[in-house]
Amino acid sequence: MPLRGRTVVVSGVGPGLGHRVAAAVIRDGGRAVLGARTGGRLAATAAAVDPSGDRTAWRPTDITDEAQCAALAALAVERFGGIDAVVHVAALDRHFGGLDDADFAVWARVVDVNLLGTLRMTRACLPALRVRGGSVVLIGTQSAVAAPTRVRQTAYAASKGALTSAMYALARELGPDRIRVNTVLPGWMWGPPVEAYVRGTARAEGVPESEVRARLTERMALPEPATDGDVAEAVVFLASDRARSITGQSLLVNAGELMR
């Protein structure tokens, strides 16, 4: 029970990675304070991972709104007495394209969510984190360090690359307060978004889904992609005291597609 008695704030809780992180926190003895823009989704996740309701709390939260970030942090303190870790799953990843066809107004929105929103939520939690130290776990992307060949998401990659760069500065800045800052970098992550991509691509090309999936795994050292659950395991490790001397690090969870 590496998170026994610990309170973890999780932003961006949906049916994929956010749900898996919340479930892993509860499984490992922690308390999960959940934020996302959709209240119904939050209620469903809380009921699924903690039917008693004793170890979960949630509040609709848009991380582009500083007041809503502060309210989610306050909920954690009011309900459970403090914050021990923050996990940033919230992201805007639905914009595809490169520089040539860029709509910079859309890019600004992507940066506002993925970079500035994450920093807003982190800052809202800092007073509580400073009381007893803790962990900030950022969710980045492999595409921020190696351009993907199957899809083009330049705005998303750039925003997440900036977030990884910010991690280094935050790890140094917050280290004296015993606050660790690390990033998990997933590659192709088998879960609802990638499953939808495989289905849609297979329909568009008139090929079996197995063929599309094989394209994704052909460069991986392991024969299948990491799942949402695999990434969640890396997250809870970094959130726990088992990683007490790890900060300023990026951990690829990608079945060996990219090795560094």
pLDDT attached to residue 193: 80
Q: Give residue 70's region: left, alpha or beta (phi > 0; psi -120 to 50).
A: alpha
Percentage above 90 pLDDT, the chain: 71
Average pLDDT over residues 72-90: 97
Listed in sequence order, the residues at least 6 apart from 185 whose beta carbon sits closer than 8 Å to its beta carbon are 140, 141, 142, 144, 145, 164, 250, 251, 252, 253, 254
pLDDT attached to residue 149: 62
pLDDT confidence of 148, banded at 50, 70, 90?
low
Average confidence score pLDDT of the chain: 92
Average pLDDT over residues 233-245: 97
pLDDT confidence of 1, banded at 50, 70, 90?
confident
Query: At residue 93, does pLDDT exceed 90?
Result: no
Spatial distance between the Cα atoms of 126 and 152, rounded to a whole number of angstroms: 35
Average pLDDT over residues 154-165: 92
pLDDT attached to residue 117: 97
Question: What does pTM read for this prediction?
Answer: 0.92
Average pLDDT over residues 204-223: 89
Average pLDDT over residues 177-192: 92
Q: Catalytic residue at 197?
A: no
- Tell me the pLDDT tens digit for each residue of 123-134: 999 999 999 999
pLDDT attached to residue 65: 97
Query: At residue 97, does pLDDT exceed 70?
Result: no
Spatial distance between the Cα atoms of 233 and 124, rounded to a whole number of angstroms: 25
Higher per-residue pLDDT: 162 or 257: 162
| Residue where the block lists tokens 């066809």 | 101
Average pLDDT over residues 89-113: 83
- Tell me the pLDDT tens digit for each residue of 15-38: 899 999 999 999 999 999 999 999
Whether 99 contacts 148, CB under 8 Å = no
| Residue where the block lists tokens 């994929």 | 16
Lowest mean pLDDT among 47-51, 85-89, 169-173, 222-226: 222-226
- Tell me the pLDDT tens digit for each residue of 5-20: 999 999 999 889 999 9
Burial pattern 152-183, b for ≥16 Cβ within 10 A else e, equals bbbbbbbbbbbbbebbeebbeebeeeebbbbb
Catalytic choice (58, 80, 156, 188): 156
pLDDT attached to residue 258: 87
Residue 110 phi/psi, 5-degree rounding, is -60, -45
